[in-house]
Amino acid sequence: MKNKKKDGKNFDIFVIGGGVNGAAILRDAAGRGYKCGLAEMGDFGSATSSSSTKLLHGGLRYLESYQFRLVKESLRERDLLLNLMPHISWPLQFILPHNKNLRPYWILRLGLYIYDFLAGSTKLPKSKSIDLRNHPAGKFLQQSYKRALAYTDCWVEDSRLALLNILDAEKRGAKAFSYSKVTNIQQKNGQWIVSVKSKERSFEIKTKVLINTMGPWVNSFDQLDNNKKNQSMVRLVKGSHIVVKKLFNHDSAYIFQGKDGRIIFSIPYEKDFTLIGTTEVEHNEGIEVKCSDEEKKYLCDFASNYFQKKITVEDIIWDFSGVRALYENKTVEARNASRDYTFEVEEKEGSILLTVYGGKITTHRKLAEKAVSKITSILKLNRKEWTSRQHLPGGDFKLEDKEKIIEGLLEKYKFLNTNWAERLFKTFGSEVENVLGRAKAKPDLGRKFGYDLTEREVLWYINQEHVRCVEDLIWRRSKLGLRLTSKQIRELNAYIKKLN
């Protein structure tokens, strides 16, 4: 497929929505040789994709609703992604205390046997039983919890995952526009004509294939395309999380069962904090997405039923919320709604529209691969799948070499301390030396903005990673919003505004 015009605004494939699914589709399509672009109305990955529980997992609880195919695919993707991006993902053990008033122990044990079986051949440890009375994880729980099960899934830095897909797509020739809102869509002469508006400019693009990955706003497409009136059934479910000071001093996470049938996680977070979540409540479009007072209390009370330390709303340092668009019957409870994905494809006068519904962080790569393969099949082209074999930027090393590489950084850049080196490596991976350059001492990195954030790092975010405002940097490129003071954030914001 070749476009006659060379002005950069004519595409084979154009994606609306820059969350992890849209970003992964853009990357996959670019790697198959398509001329492709993407528009995101905010920062890349700034909505649902940066508000997850930040796990690559099969979804243990999905076994109760017999979603075996989804669990199996997710577990296989978990292992694959761990190898493709080991700087932003790593194994994490989960402790599941047995609550004698809830699911029987044998049910939990059976569920984990099935989980292990569906995972197939994996480098991650199999599940096991543990005695909480003789295990480090038991010290922080109430004495009534005497035994538990342990299994392993993976952590992932979700907002950087979306970004890295964008950056790799750009390296392969794609165009990605952040803070650029699609304002109108129309079909003409076998093409889609898409109007895009940013703060700086307005422009039109033409494309044969349009892909809707707008997530919670997926049905807003109908308002943009005046000819499309048939909205599909989409269910909006909000999930909220809270962050408190570190509740335990070991590296495992907890998964807790509630009397209402739900589960929550309590996860080590950014070394000095604990992440607790998630809630699952119905969300009405048009209402502000935020963690409500009821959700905060719910999460605090839920965790307090397990920990010796009582957690209160006053302990909350930060909270965040996101909304998922689930393609699901509204007669089931939100917690039982499927996290699987589905596509709708429409062909009209030579133009193609593919709409993505549902999905989860763990299956983003597979979703993108299937979406682009479906388009490729419709176009009767031969463009092979490739993303299962290629690392994301910064991920071209073996997981087991991570500590050795960090030691090498400390040797080369003697002004770094261990925490600083680890943070930089878990952010940039093998590209960290491109960020630090030839620096021999701290002053070579320029102005210090607080904690260990330097001007060199800030400039990298702005020039290489599409940072447009302070929130992009402190909550999505990093989590330094947990470390910086209000004054430091204001000064950083002024610096970014000046450069942008």
CA separation (Å) from 19 to 15, 49, 341, 479, 495?
10, 6, 15, 18, 27
Contact indicator for 50, 475 with CB cutoff of 8 Å: yes
CATH-assigned architecture of domain 399-499 = Orthogonal Bundle (1.10)
β-partners of residue 89 are 156
CB atoms within 10 A of CB 230: 8
Contact indicator for 153, 92 with CB cutoff of 8 Å: yes
CA-CA distance, 207 to 192, in Å (whole number)? Answer: 5
Predicted TM-score (pTM) of the model is 0.95
User: Is the sign of the CA dihedral 154, 158, 162, 165 positive or negative?
Assistant: negative
Query: How much is the pLDDT for 371?
Result: 98
Token pair belonging to 424: 């930089």
CA separation (Å) from 307 to 99, 139, 143, 312, 434?
13, 9, 9, 12, 43
How far, in whole angstroms, is CA 38 from its chain's centroid?
A: 18
Which three-class secondary structure state does DSSP give residue 342?
Answer: strand
- What are the sequence ranges of the domains in the chain? 10-47+160-234+338-389, 399-499
CA-CA distance, 46 to 40, in Å (whole number)? Answer: 9
Q: Strands 263-269 and 202-212, how do they pair? A: unpaired
* Angle between helix 418-428 and helix 402-412 axes, rounded to 10 deg: 120
How far, in whole angstroms, is CA 39 from its chain's centroid?
A: 18
Query: How much is the pLDDT for 2?
Result: 41
Q: How do the pLDDT tens digits run along the chain, 500 residues long?
A: 443 333 458 999 999 999 999 999 999 999 999 999 999 999 999 999 999 999 999 999 899 889 999 999 999 999 999 999 999 999 999 999 999 999 999 999 999 999 999 999 999 999 999 999 999 999 999 999 999 999 999 999 999 999 999 999 999 999 999 999 999 999 999 999 999 999 889 999 999 999 999 999 888 877 676 555 555 678 899 999 999 999 999 999 999 999 999 999 999 999 999 999 999 999 987 778 999 999 999 999 999 999 999 999 999 999 999 999 888 655 556 555 666 899 999 998 889 999 999 999 999 999 999 999 999 999 999 999 999 999 999 999 999 999 999 999 999 999 999 999 999 999 999 999 999 999 999 999 999 999 999 999 999 999 999 999 999 999 999 999 999 999 999 999 999 999 98
Query: How much is the pLDDT for 396?
Result: 97
Query: How much is the pLDDT for 333?
Result: 60
Q: What share of the chain is helix, strand, coil (3-state, %, to 5)?
A: 40, 25, 35
What is the fold of 10-47+160-234+338-389? FAD/NAD(P)-binding domain (3.50.50)
Query: How much is the pLDDT for 166?
Result: 99
Tell which phi-psi region holds residue 466, choosing left (phi > 0), alpha (psi between -120 and 50) or beta.
left
* Angle between helix 364-378 and helix 20-31 axes, rounded to 10 deg: 50
**Closest alpha carbon to 339 in 366, 372, 320, 310:** 366
Q: Which segments of 338-463 are extended strands (E)?
A: 341-348, 351-358, 448-450, 453-454
* Angle between helix 68-84 and helix 364-378 axes, rounded to 10 deg: 100
319: part of which helix (H) or strand (E)?
strand 316-326
**Closest alpha carbon to 160 in 318, 15, 45:** 45
Token pair belonging to 372: 């682009």
β-partners of residue 342 are 357
Alpha-carbon Rg of the chain, whole angstroms?
A: 23
Contact indicator for 465, 434 with CB cutoff of 8 Å: no
